[in-house]
Structure 1
Amino acid sequence: MKMNFKLGALAAAIIMGASAPAFAFMESGASGNGELLLNVRYYGGTSATSGGDDVSALFDLGMRMDDMIAANGQAGFSKAWDLTTGAYGASWNQLLSFVGPANVSRIEFSVIALDFSTVGSKHFLSTMNVEKIPSLTNANLRGFEKMGLYIDANNSRGTHATDANGASVAMPTDQPDTFFGAIGGSTQGDNWVAKTTVDTTQSLGTEQNFWFLTEKPGSAFNQVVSTPFGVDLNNDGVIGTGEFSKFTLNEAGVLGFTAVSAVPEADTWAMLLAGLGMLGMMVRRRTGV
């Protein structure tokens, strides 16, 4: 029964991911249940906002926050996005052309989603490549909503307005709030406009942990509730090393999300071995061995 339940849950998760609805324009989170978004950025010099050597790109992944949260804990759940084709391709190629082959390794990425529609219950999804979220108060979490400026400003750029799941590229000299390194005039999206000490962006090829962050009822100084994406393989009630689900973006332009697979329980192994034994007996009978 346990095995059937797990297989059913996995199948449902995969179907949900494959059939996630597509949306024209990006939802910043002001009306709730924002979309999953990929940020890709390259800072060419010592400053992220000067020198003409900086660029960022924003990709709408076409999946709502609530759908992503529903997939948490589903062993074996995976999803992939190819940034080299369709409405993504032009932006990905523009980014690579600007950066140049010699600097591709310096490109970094993050994945986020916003929902700040309800007072006292704002929540966000974010890559944060840590196994424990450092001090983060309700007051600072509320400041995450400033990233909505960045999303809204990019909605009229690239293919966001014309395609269900579009993309855009921006540089520091473009219109305000479109560039990932200068939101609200100067602060970077890497650390949610300076509201967290965690750098959410990591180099291509890095396997990043993913987190659900939500306000804790009460004081603005309360620590937020942080829930990691992962699978509790040892059933100890905690997501620890080897149990985190991961986001990865490679140099080939493929973004992937992968949850660890559950280790079969003893009774499952026993059923499998028994089945193989019966299969062997049937083969021997048929061949007369």
Structure 2
Amino acid sequence: MKIELKLKALAVAAIMAAGTPAFAAIDGGPSGNGELLLNVRYYGGDSATTGGDDISGLFDLGFKMDDMIAANGQAGYTKSWDLKTGDYGASWSQLTSFVGASNLGKMEFNVIALDDTDRNLKGGSRYLTTGNVDAFPSQGNANVKTMNGMDKYVDANNSRGTHGTVVNGASVATATDPSDTFFGAINGFGQGDTWLQKTTVDTTQAVGTDQNFWFLTTSSTSNLAQATKTPFGFDLNHDGTIGAGEFTKVSLSEAGVLTITSPVPEAETWAMLLAGLGMLSMIVRRRTGV
């Protein structure tokens, strides 16, 4: 009888667990492999925190940092999200309704990802970020380490919107909402646009802008040394650097479509590449006697 009751109790517990949505928290810095996060913000007046005309939205893109890094250097790589649909739709609608149709072009966006699990080691602090510059300016290791302050924003939003009930959720916040939930007032005043003043680059740009994408990480254990700043893209001319026309572009349209796209080589470049691979294959076959 005791065994039967115990089995019944286990069965009930299993049914209850199955009926309860799993907590789908955003993977931020402490996870070691943070998810890509889209931040959309609108500052309607002179201040991001007064006037009641400011709003921000946080969209969990469900794509891990390491997967994005692995895609760097792939020609023609593309990935997109439609924010009007699915688990993002309600938050996108709330955001755009607040802003109003005539002001949609004034919204700004960035895409980021966080990893801060080994911040005292070389390469231990890792961040992905949009930055509409062809050469990332001075960025020291010390400031890259303290970009982990953005985790407060991630943590504060984890219990809002649909982040806790769906795999990849979204939330919206205004300046009057709970502390650290609004993109324009983290730690009470710091804006996420510049990673709380830890970057010299304004990482948010108006919707419709094709932003470049960057990987920032600590180059050594010295706080005084410059961080490693790696651009995303494809080296079309094979000169060892990413230059004009070679950057991976991140763009958000007023219609709510986010895209990440790497450049595609022209037909002649593809032909030369294939010819080179063919010659390499012939050389290998001759050397191996195949």
TM bin, normalised by shorter chain, reads 0.7 to 0.9
Residue of structure 2 in register with 1:171 after alignment: 174
Query: In structure 2, the residue corresponding to 1:30 is in which secondary structure?
Result: helix
Q: CA deviation at 1:196?
A: 1.1
Residue of structure 2 in register with 1:107 after alignment: 107
The residue type equivalent to 2:217 in the other structure is: T
Pairwise mapping of residues 222-237 of structure 1 onto structure 2 (< 5 A)? 222-237=225-240
Q: CA deviation at 1:31?
A: 2.5
Please give the TM-score of this superposition, normalised by the length of structure 2.
0.84
Residue of structure 2 in register with 1:240 after alignment: 243
CA spacing shift, 1:270–1:111, aligned 2, 3 Å: closer
Pairwise mapping of residues 37-48 of structure 1 onto structure 2 (< 5 A)? 37-48=37-48
The residue type equivalent to 1:49 in the other structure is: T
The residue type equivalent to 1:230 in the other structure is: G
Query: In structure 2, the residue corresponding to 1:36 is in which secondary structure?
Result: strand
Q: CA deviation at 1:218?
A: 3.4
Residue of structure 2 in register with 1:18 after alignment: none
Deviations along 1:13-51, whole A, 9 cap, x unmatched? xxxxxxxxxx92101211300000000000000000111
Gaps of 5+ in 2: 1-22, 276-290
Deviations along 1:225-268, whole A, 9 cap, x unmatched? 00000000111100000000000000110000000012345682
How many angstroms apart in 2 are the aligned matches of 1:198 and 1:147?
16
Query: In structure 2, the residue corresponding to 1:222 is in which secondary structure?
Result: coil
Please give the TM-score of this superposition, normalised by the length of structure 1.
0.84
How many angstroms apart in 2 are the aligned matches of 1:270 and 1:190?
40
The residue type equivalent to 2:94 in the other structure is: Q
The residue type equivalent to 2:97 in the other structure is: S
Deviates more, 1:144-153 or 1:256-265: 256-265
1:128 aligns with 2:131: yes
1:72 aligns with 2:72: yes
**Sequence identity, in percent?**
60
How many angstroms apart in 2 are the aligned matches of 1:270 and 1:199?
37
Task: Indicate the structure (1 or 2) with the bigger Cα radius of gyration.
Answer: 2
Match of 2:150 among 147, 152, 173: 147
Q: CA deviation at 1:101?
A: 1.1
Q: CA RMSD in A?
A: 1.6
Deviations along 1:253-288, whole A, 9 cap, x unmatched? 00000000123456827989xxxxxxxxxxxxxxxx
How many angstroms apart in 2 are the aligned matches of 1:223 and 1:191?
17
How many angstroms apart in 1 are the aligned matches of 2:70 and 2:166?
26
The residue type equivalent to 1:168 in the other structure is: S
Q: CA deviation at 1:224?
A: 0.4
Gaps of 5+ in 1: 1-22, 273-289
The residue type equivalent to 1:217 in the other structure is: S
Residue of structure 1 in register with 2:195 after alignment: 192
